[in-house]
Each structure stands twice: as C-alpha cells, then as structure tokens.
Structure 1
C-alpha cells in the first residue's frame, strides 16, 4: 500500500479576501440563540481555492445571501450542498 502525503495549501488570495470581507460583514447577532453564525471558524477549512463554511442553522439563510453576493464580487462560486444549488 502506497501512502500519499497530503499537503494543504494556504488559502488563495481570492479566498482570503472573500473571508476577510465575509467575517467583517457577518457579525454576531445578539437576538440569535448562538450570537455567532459560525459552527466552526471560516478559516479552518480554507485551503487553496476552496473554503468550506459551517453555519449555525438559525443564521444560515442570512449568511448564505451575503456569501453569494461576496463570492460573485470576488470571482468565486458559492455552492450550498444541503440545497444542491449555487447561491447567487
């Protein structure tokens, strides 16, 4: 059995810029049960040209709208795997 070493690349410039803008625009909501919209840090799963975002259910709709708009502005594509659709 051959073992393949997995090398993780740092986030690309487009992903870094997208995440900077996203985290600046999506703030904690004091009216939300959790306040913080993230189920995990947006930076945790950002590798190369991909960022996997984990959102709390009660904030997902509002955050997805911002994600779609910012992704387009940064030349990226936003995909919602739960819905199986692109977010525009």
Structure 2
C-alpha cells in the first residue's frame, strides 16, 4: 500500500513522514500513529483521518488476501 494513496496523505506529506521516520514508517503508522504529530504539517485532526483511512485500507487488503487464497482473482474481487 502506498502511503500517498491514503486519504489525508498527499505526496508532500508522505515524503515528510518517510523523511522523519525512515524505515520505521509503516511500523509507526501501524502501532504508534499518534507519533505522526512529530511531522511538520500534521495535526491531530489529520492523524485521525489518516488512522481511519489506514484501517479501512488494511481491512480491504485482508479481504483481498482472503479471497485470493480461496481462488478468487484480484480483478474479480475488486469488482
């Protein structure tokens, strides 16, 4: 999942997040999302938006993986 595709995170914000957290970025978003406040331009309101969007995308990914393991193609599952 690309960070810039998450609602509330555009390309500029994504670069700032990765520049700040480096290789720990995904772990931070997954387990310590409130730390995004450390990144310039991210306020609590945006963190909440990012958290909700991240959880939604994560749930969609889990469903897609489940369907693929049961023989449903990605194209069909998306539809």
TM-score, structure 1 as length reference: 0.33
* Greater share of strand: 1
TM-score (norm 2): 0.35
